[in-house]
A and B are shown apart, each in its own frame.
Chain A
Amino acid sequence: MRPLTEAETRAVFEKLGRYIGENIQLLVERPDGTYCFRLHRDRVYYVSEKLLKGAASIPRGSLVALGTCFGKFTKTQKFRLNVTALDFLAPYAKYKVWVKPGSEQSFLYGNHVLKSGLGRITENTAQYQGVVVYSMADVPLGFGVAAKSTQDCRKVDPMAIVVFHQADVGEYVRSEDTLT
């Protein structure tokens, strides 16, 4: 476990910024206490100070996880967000997509969101913008990347992909052993 280097911090913030924009500041500077990012086994954890102090006493080999796992660094030092970061992405997300109840299940099985399943989408969403996916009852389901801008969404045919799937809460069941 160690703090992130500057390059790693930059990679993490760039990835987070695609979904929550300048709201990263709210994650870094929280009124309710001190929170920080820590790297442990190539995974980035978002930890409160209290939890961090407790975890510091555990040997590195024995420590499985701490705080909330935001994602992990690949072997080529790229940062990938995990679905476990959804709890912190959803409240601050700038661009959202609502999925119709009929295609919720499809998304939760790891499929892309099609135009036919698109309930609503935030205005002004640009193409390839990171979006958080909600059910129509405003339950965050996952996140992905907008395949089409809002303008284009109106014109495409119903079977066209609108949001590329990146992570969904179904992963808690599907890949339970790799999510930490």
Chain B
Amino acid sequence: MAAAVRVEELLAAAAPGEREAPRSVAVEKELELEFDLGNLLALDPNPPPAAGLRGAGPRREAALRALARDNAQLLVAQLWALPAERAGGAAGPLVASLPEPSCRLPREKPPPKPRPPTRWEQFARLKGIRRRKRTSLVWDEQAKEWRRRWGYRRAGGDPARSWLLEVPAGADPEEDQFAKKRQEKRERVARNEFNRLRNLARAHRASTAIPAPPLHPTGHQSRQELGLAARVARVSTASLGRFQPRLPKEPVELPPRGRCSKKRRFEPVLGDLAAERGRQLELLKAMNSKKPALDITRAVNKQLREEDAEAAAAKGKKQKQRGKRGRRQQQRPARGGRKSGARRQQRPAGGNITGGKRKKA
């Protein structure tokens, strides 16, 4: 009995709260809401109640919650108005089919970038070569049906799978034409793959090429970029930064090579002539020291000359022994008896000199 009383008391105590809590399914709005049921979207054009939303705190939170609840209620009411049916028989869940969404949502990710053109595409564009559209299916007369132009079961039979091959004129009859064809195919495939990879590499390089860092201030500049900007700013004056005061701890930097290089200076015309001579002698010494110790051509020539001289000397000795020297000269006066005599008179004293024509003895 006591428990029952307590339950009733509880119910009585709870009743006034419950009576307040259930809110109406019907929501009053001054302006109608706009619905996009495909996206489950409701747009409330009514101005929000200014009093409730001002300032932070529980009251504002409650007001927002109430507003959201009302609008959700209206949206759900619209959903209920849609034609619905039971999914799996009479006991299944109720399923309503949503209409097409009317609001276009922006896409989540940026659109994909166009693929960089391959080398062939660049070339074709340069030359104005356009791709000719061809049907992929062609009529095969033998098979009497439409077949692919290329690839598996292509029209006219695959030449790579032919059972007979003609030996071309002038080819080695022992050569295996089938193997040759296979080899060529393998090479073509390899070359295509290589070119494909090369195109990929080029595209990658082009996409990751590092542009010059911006000099103007951006959000995040690294230490190097800031340093570069400071350096450029320093020399960007009318006097190329010559009179620019330095900051207390700014490092002294040498001017970059190339842009403002040192002015060319020459030695004075009438300077220290002895020092100039010394420099030139030093240079000569350095130049001579670089010469190879043994010049092969010279050595070979010297050797040949010595052999020639030895041979000539031996021959001359033999002739002297035989005592035929005088007779030989008599026999051949045209060989230059008079001429050689004249030349011998003209020739100045010199050890390493030889005649243009070789003279024996």
A13 at the interface (CB under 8 A from B): yes
**What 1/0 mask marks residues of chain A from 130 to 141 whose CB sits below 8 Å from any chain B CB?**
000000111000
B301 at the interface (CB under 8 A from A): yes
**What 1/0 mask marks residues of chain B from 268 to 281 whose CB sits below 8 Å from any chain A CB?**
11110110110111
Give the distance to chain B from A97, nearest Cβ to Cβ, in Å.
Answer: 9
A138:B348 contact, CB within 8 angstroms: yes
Please judge, given known A-B contacts A13-B283, A34-B277, whether A123 and B354 are in contact too, CB under 8 Å.
yes
Give the distance to chain B from A121, nearest Cβ to Cβ, in Å.
Answer: 7
B355 at the interface (CB under 8 A from A): yes
A42 at the interface (CB under 8 A from B): no
Q: Chain B residues near A122 (CB, 8 Å)?
A: 352-353
Please judge, given known A-B contacts A3-B271, A56-B269, A151-B305, whether A120 and B353 are in contact too, CB under 8 Å.
yes
Q: Tell me the bound Cα distance from A5 to B347 in angstroms.
A: 43
Please judge, given known A-B contacts A9-B280, A36-B277, A124-B301, whether A3 and B269 are in contact too, CB under 8 Å.
yes
Q: Kindly identify, within residues 338 to 361 of chain B, every residue whose CB is under 8 Å from any CB belonging to chain A.
A: 343, 346-348, 352-356, 358
Q: Chain A residues near B348 (CB, 8 Å)?
A: 138
A28:B301 contact, CB within 8 angstroms: no
Q: Tell me the bound Cα distance from A105 to B280 in angstroms.
A: 38
Give the distance to chain B from A134, nearest Cβ to Cβ, in Å.
Answer: 10
A10 at the interface (CB under 8 A from B): yes
B239 at the interface (CB under 8 A from A): no
B266:A126 contact, CB within 8 angstroms: no
A9:B283 contact, CB within 8 angstroms: yes
A87 at the interface (CB under 8 A from B): no
A108 at the interface (CB under 8 A from B): no
Q: Chain A residues near B277 (CB, 8 Å)?
A: 28-29, 34, 36
B266:A36 contact, CB within 8 angstroms: no
Please judge, given known A-B contacts A123-B352, A154-B358, whether A36 and B301 are in contact too, CB under 8 Å.
no
Q: Kindly identify, within residues 21 to 57 of chain A, every residue whose CB is under 8 Å from any CB belonging to chain B.
A: 22, 24-25, 28-29, 34, 36-38, 49, 52-53, 56
Q: Chain B residues near A154 (CB, 8 Å)?
A: 358
B284 at the interface (CB under 8 A from A): yes
Determine the residue in chain B with the shortest Cβ distance to A116.
B356
- Cβ-defined partner of A120 (8 Å) among B298, B302, B305, B355: B355
- Cβ-defined partner of B270 (8 Å) among A13, A28, A53: A53
A3:B352 contact, CB within 8 angstroms: no
B174 at the interface (CB under 8 A from A): no
Q: Kindly identify, within residues 303 to 361 of chain B, every residue whose CB is under 8 Å from any CB belonging to chain A.
A: 304-305, 343, 346-348, 352-356, 358
Q: Chain A residues near B305 (CB, 8 Å)?
A: 123-124, 150-151
B301:A121 contact, CB within 8 angstroms: no
Q: Chain A residues near B287 (CB, 8 Å)?
A: 10, 13-14, 17
A153 at the interface (CB under 8 A from B): yes
Q: Chain B residues near A98 (CB, 8 Å)?
A: 356
Q: Chain A residues near B261 (CB, 8 Å)?
A: none
B298:A124 contact, CB within 8 angstroms: yes
Give the distance to chain B from A84, nearest Cβ to Cβ, in Å.
Answer: 20
Please judge, given known A-B contacts A2-B266, A5-B266, whether A25 and B273 are in contact too, CB under 8 Å.
no
B284:A120 contact, CB within 8 angstroms: no
A118 at the interface (CB under 8 A from B): yes
Q: Tell me the bound Cα distance from A165 to B42 in angstroms.
A: 101
Q: Tell me the bound Cα distance from A122 to B304 in angstroms.
A: 15
A28:B304 contact, CB within 8 angstroms: no
B301:A151 contact, CB within 8 angstroms: yes
- Cβ-defined partner of B281 (8 Å) among A28, A121, A137, A153: A28
B267 at the interface (CB under 8 A from A): yes
B353:A123 contact, CB within 8 angstroms: yes
Q: Kindly identify, within residues 82 to 127 of chain A, every residue whose CB is under 8 Å from any CB belonging to chain B.
A: 98, 100, 118-124, 126-127
A68 at the interface (CB under 8 A from B): no
A120:B354 contact, CB within 8 angstroms: yes
24 examples of A-B residue contacts, CB within 8 angstroms: A1-B269, A2-B269, A3-B266, A3-B271, A5-B266, A10-B287, A13-B283, A14-B287, A25-B284, A28-B277, A28-B284, A34-B277, A36-B273, A36-B277, A37-B280, A120-B353, A120-B356, A121-B354, A122-B353, A124-B352, A149-B301, A151-B301, A151-B305, A153-B356
Residues of chain B whose beta carbon lies under 8 Å from any beta carbon of chain A:
266-271, 273-274, 276-277, 279-281, 283-284, 287-288, 295, 297-298, 301-302, 304-305, 343, 346-348, 352-356, 358
